[in-house]
Structure 1
Amino acid sequence: MELLSGLGLATSSGLNAYIPLLVLGLLDRFTPVVELGPSFAWLSNGWILGLLAVLLVIELLADKFPAVDSINDAIQTVVRPTSGGIVFGSAATSEIAGLGAGTLTVTDPEAVAGWQTWVPVVTGIVIALVVHLTKALTRPMANTATAGTAAPVLSTGEDIVSAGLSLIAVFLPLVVVLAVIGLVVVAVVVRRRMRRRRDRRLRSGSV
């Protein structure tokens, strides 16, 4: 369950760095659903939640405009994988939805440097980075193919998927694999369609 929750949250981070962090932090602070381990309890701090909310608003706005979204994606190349590492690590060291997570809870300082902590973090970084790169490479193609009109549509869809996947990872981790597979299929279909539209647009422009 920890791995499934971590997979869903890290994938979500690849689309939007701040949504899964806010989901975990808010659920830990205001509900009994999530009990973050000591290494990640700072996520539910009020100041951290406020900062994440501000960064989320900036991200939501910046990602909706052509050209600006590409600059934002370049900046997020560091932020989203970092978020992925944090949420996967927190899923592996916390009690989530009473589903038995927390078997890797770190209470011994010497264990903090052990594989129990760092393997989940590195795994989350890799997952989020792969998702982020797919998103970042698809967006310029879509902007070229649609003269920029696809940016707000794709961005809104990514935000919705990120939020939905974060909640699924917490409440229905067994569904995460199906959700991720569905996301991969949609990404492949969108990339192929955008590539064809871009190629047609470039050919018509050259003529």
Structure 2
Amino acid sequence: MDVLTGLGLSSSAGLNAWIPLLVLGLLDRYTEFVDLGPNFAWLSNGWVLAIFAVLLALEVVADKVPAIDSVNDVIQTVVRPTSGGIVFGSSMTSDIAGLTLGGETATVTDPEQFVTSGTWVPIVIGVVLALVVHGVKALTRPVANTASAGAAAPVLSTAEDVVAVVISLLAVFLPILVLLGLVGLVFGTWWLLRRRRPSGPPVYAA
């Protein structure tokens, strides 16, 4: 379950870096469903949550404007994988929905021990998975914008934000359903690319 939680959160980070961070931070701060422990307690700090909220608001606006969304995706190439690594790593060392996950510390006090202990593995997995999802999103958006003259940007961005929220919540409360969410995400991307692809050779008038 901890792996499914990490997969869901890092996939969500690939769509929107700030949503899974806010979900974890808010649930840790205001509920008993999530206990991030000492290593990731900073995610629920009031100032950190406020910064995340402001950055989320900025991205929500920027990601819905054609051309600006592509620039934002370039910037997010670093931010989203970083977020994915953080949320995957935190999911392996936290108490989420009553399940004590992982239990290993991610504090770097001895670099050699950090490497040999394998605590870096979940972070790397989260980075890679978020980067893959982000890459698909970044490559798909220009195609959709071009085909729709920019009209698809706000629609796709809103859908991505909703999916990121849903997958983040599923990852915390019903991680077994994360697989269904990821399958839906893959199918939706495939359907969009297939729809934008010409269905056959051009027909020329005689």
TM-score by length of structure 1 reads 0.91
> Structure 2 vs 1, CA of residues 118 and 148 (structure 1 numbering), >3 Å: closer, same or farther?
same
1:113 is displaced (CA, Å) by 4.6
- Residue type of the alignment partner of 2:150: G
Q: What is the DSSP-based 3-state SS (H/G/I as helix, E as strand, rest coil) of the residue aligned with 1:57?
A: helix
Corresponding position of 1:72: 72
User: Equivalent of 1:159, from 144, 158, 161?
Assistant: 161
Contact kept, 8 Å, 1:38 with 1:107, in 2: the verdict is no
- Residue type of the alignment partner of 1:142: A
Corresponding position of 1:123: 125
Question: Following the alignment from structure 2 to structure 1, what is the Cα–Cα distance between the partners of residues 14 and 41?
Answer: 22
Contact kept, 8 Å, 1:84 with 1:121, in 2: the verdict is yes
Question: Following the alignment from structure 1 to structure 2, what is the Cα–Cα distance between the partners of residues 115 and 148?
Answer: 48
1:37 is displaced (CA, Å) by 2.7
Q: Does 1:22 align with 2:2?
A: no
1:178 is displaced (CA, Å) by 1.5
Question: Following the alignment from structure 1 to structure 2, what is the Cα–Cα distance between the partners of residues 27 and 196?
Answer: 45
Corresponding position of 2:84: 84
Instruction: Give % identity.
Output: 62
User: Equivalent of 1:140, from 139, 142, 145?
Assistant: 142
Pick which of 100-109 and 148-157 moved more.
Answer: 100-109
Listed as ranges, the gaps of 5+ residues in structure 2 are: none
Counterparts in 2 of 1:1-207, with a 5 A limit? 1-106=1-106, 109-110=109-110, 112-196=114-198
Listed as ranges, the gaps of 5+ residues in structure 1 are: none
- Residue type of the alignment partner of 2:95: E
Question: Following the alignment from structure 1 to structure 2, what is the Cα–Cα distance between the partners of residues 87 and 10?
Answer: 6
CA RMSD of superposed structures (Å) = 2.0
Summarize deviations over 1:137-187 as a string: whole Å, max 9, x none: 000000000000000000000000000000000000111112111111111
Structure holding more helix per residue: 1
Count residues with an aligned counterpart: 201
Pick which of 37-46 and 147-156 moved more.
Answer: 37-46
Question: Following the alignment from structure 2 to structure 1, what is the Cα–Cα distance between the partners of residues 117 and 157?
Answer: 35
